[in-house]
Structure 1
Amino acid sequence: MRAGLRAILSTDDAIEVVDEAANGAQAVQRAVHHRPDVVLMDVRMPHLDGIAATRRITTAVPHARILVLTTFEDEEYIFGALNAGASGFLLKRTRPEQLIAAIHTIADGDSLLSPSVTRKVIQRMIDAPRRDPSAGHRLATLTQREREVLEQVARGLSNAEIARTLGVEESTVKTHMKRVLAKLDLRDRVQAVILAYETALVRPGQ
């Protein structure tokens, strides 16, 4: 599997594979050594599973973005990975061109979930929405336009779609989103979406 991934990624001149690992413990060690921009992470691995490895890497290498690539789409793995700090979750049946596009998306600071995983996340929000009373105070630090951008992100719109909806440049949307993440002390768009639901800024079904 690793040999196949390396072959796929080698077709994109913008991607450099700096190393690979056979287990979670190696993944942490080599990520700390190389400090990569993106880590492709499996879930089931010997010595240290992918969720624990993700948590350790995001702590030790804060700028590293984790893209989980796995055969399994169990809710335990999905939410475990996202809570550990993963910025993306894709299934191994993802087409090569989609994988390469996903890596660029993650590297650019966005988040990405496969469609089936997105459905599970939304359904979890519908079935058991959590409420974080303290999070509402954090939203008060946002400007009106920043709240609008966060709302659109929580509804699943891309930066380009948000730009068209709000009638602004895509670069402006990216700037607003960076400020939202900074003000709310969030790692990425996945955490921003979760917060938007927890604070009822956006409600399931809207």
Structure 2
Amino acid sequence: MASLDLGEPPWSVAVVDNHEAARLGVMAYLLTRPDQFGPCAGFEGLEALSAATWTPRLIVLDLYLGRDDQPTIDAIPGLREAGSAVILFTSEERPVPLRRAVAVGVSGLVLKNDGMMPLYQALVAAAKSEFTCSSIVAEALLTDPTLVAAITPRETQVLTGLDQGLSHQQVARRLGVQESTVRSHLKSVREKYMTLGRNVTNTLSLIREADEEGWLDHKA
């Protein structure tokens, strides 16, 4: 992925977070460093950001926005194409959605629990076309192979259907496959979790593990 040329500081920053306290807190912190950041503006959602008359060089973006906590992953490529480096600033600690965000172009990951200094460091790194994580935990969420089973899109569809209360037969109908194929997919998922040392004894435990990793994103 091509790096962004954000020029010299001060870099303009947009903080997009539907939690007012978080949004104002980040802005207040950045405004204490006028030699590096400015102007700074806060937005409750992406629609408000798109209506702005300027393009920020840096965007501090929460992974979920709005009353229903809609994921913002799909918007990240467009923000990057417009010339903004995006730093994900989130409470989410499920590996799958975080890895998806990195795959589509975020310039850094900062967990909200890690505080403001790591966010500052991530913003400066992003302005220099460098990727950074806010902590060892954040880095592990993106890179540790033992945290996530390699579930395929079809296996995810099977688990999602079962999570929604469908029977094996109903899932098979939805996907246009035989019921035996559904069971085969479940067997494959179980083997993947067993390889990781997970305690999976039935379909409910498979769904639980997949949900905890973020494969079953109920916010989508």
TM-score tier (shorter): 0.5 to 0.7
Q: Is the 8 A contact 1:28 1:57 kept in 2?
A: no
From 59, 73, 88, the counterpart of 1:51: 73
Q: Is the 8 A contact 2:57 2:85 kept in 1?
A: yes
The Cα offsets for residues 72-127 of structure 1, whole Å up to 9 and x where unpaired, read as: 12112211211221011111122322221221111111111132121132223997
Size of the aligned set, in residue pairs, is 125
Q: 1:97 to 1:123 in 2, by over 3 A?
A: closer
The answer to whether structure 1 residue 40 and structure 2 residue 60 are counterparts is yes
Q: Which has the larger radius of gyration?
A: 2
Question: Match for residue 93 of structure 1?
Answer: 113
Q: 1:127 to 1:69 in 2, by over 3 A?
A: closer
Task: Judging by fraction of residues, say which structure has more strand.
Answer: 2
From 16, 24, 31, the counterpart of 2:38: 16
Q: 1:127 to 1:4 in 2, by over 3 A?
A: closer
In 2: Cα distance, 1:125 partner to 1:55 partner: 28
In the superposition, the TM-score normalised over structure 1's length comes to 0.54
In 2: Cα distance, 1:116 partner to 1:52 partner: 24
In 2: Cα distance, 1:25 partner to 1:41 partner: 13
Task: Judging by fraction of residues, say which structure has more helix.
Answer: 1
Which ranges of structure 2 fall in alignment gaps of 5 or more residues? 1-21, 151-220
Which ranges of structure 1 fall in alignment gaps of 5 or more residues? 130-206
SS in 2 for 1:73: coil
The Cα offsets for residues 147-197 of structure 1, whole Å up to 9 and x where unpaired, read as: xxxxxxxxxxxxxxxxxxxxxxxxxxxxxxxxxxxxxxxxxxxxxxxxxxx
In 2: Cα distance, 1:125 partner to 1:93 partner: 23
Question: Match for residue 2 of structure 1?
Answer: 23
Cα deviation for residue 17 of structure 1 reads 3.7
Q: Percent identity?
A: 18
Question: Match for residue 200 of structure 1?
Answer: none
The alignment's C-alpha RMSD in Å is 2.4
SS in 2 for 1:39: strand
Q: Is the 8 A contact 1:28 1:53 kept in 2?
A: no
1:128-139 residue pairs with structure 2 within 5 A?
Answer: none
Q: 1:125 to 1:88 in 2, by over 3 A?
A: farther
From 77, 81, 101, the counterpart of 2:97: 77
Cα deviation for residue 26 of structure 1 reads 2.5
Question: Match for residue 49 of structure 2?
Answer: 27
SS in 1 for 2:144: helix
Q: 1:111 to 1:122 in 2, by over 3 A?
A: same
Q: 1:24 to 1:52 in 2, by over 3 A?
A: farther
From 122, 133, 150, the counterpart of 1:102: 122
The answer to whether structure 1 residue 123 and structure 2 residue 144 are counterparts is yes
In 2: Cα distance, 1:95 partner to 1:127 partner: 26
Question: Match for residue 188 of structure 1?
Answer: none
